[in-house]
Amino acid sequence: MRLIESVTIQHENPWEPELDGLFLDRNGGVKFCFMEGWSVVAQSEDGAKEVWYTAPEGERLELPYHWTGAAKGVPPMLRTWWPSDTEIYYFEDYTISHTSQWSYICKIAKETVWKFKGYAWRYTTIERFGDNIYFGTAGQGGYFYLLNLHTGEALLKLKTGGTVNIYARRENRLYLLQQEKKAYLVCIDLSDGTILERLELPGKAHQDSAIRLIGDTIHCVTFIYRGGPVKEALWNRVII
DSSP symbols for 63-125: PGGG-BTT-SSS-GGG-B--PPP-SEEEETTEEEEESSSSEEEEEETTEEEEEEE-SSEE-S-
Asked, for residue 57, whether it belongs to a domain, the answer is yes
- pLDDT single digits (tens) 28-71: 789 999 988 888 899 998 888 999 888 888 787 888 877 876 66
Determine the pLDDT at residue 184.
96
| pTM for this entry | 0.90
Determine the pLDDT at residue 1.
95
96 contacts: CB under 8 Å, gap ≥ 6: 88, 89, 90, 104, 105, 106, 126, 133
Residue 70 CA to residue 67 CA, distance in Å, equals 8
Asked, for residue 104, whether it belongs to a domain, the answer is no
Q: How many residues does the chain have?
A: 240
Number of domains in the chain: 1
Boundaries of domain holding 50: 11-83
Asked, for residue 142, whether it belongs to a domain, the answer is no
Asked, for residue 220, whether it belongs to a domain, the answer is no
Determine the pLDDT at residue 85.
61
Asked, for residue 207, whether it belongs to a domain, the answer is no
Asked, for residue 225, whether it belongs to a domain, the answer is no
Query: In degrees rounded to 5, what are phi and psi of residue 150?
Result: -85, -30
Average predicted confidence (pLDDT) for the chain = 89
Asked, for residue 117, whether it belongs to a domain, the answer is no
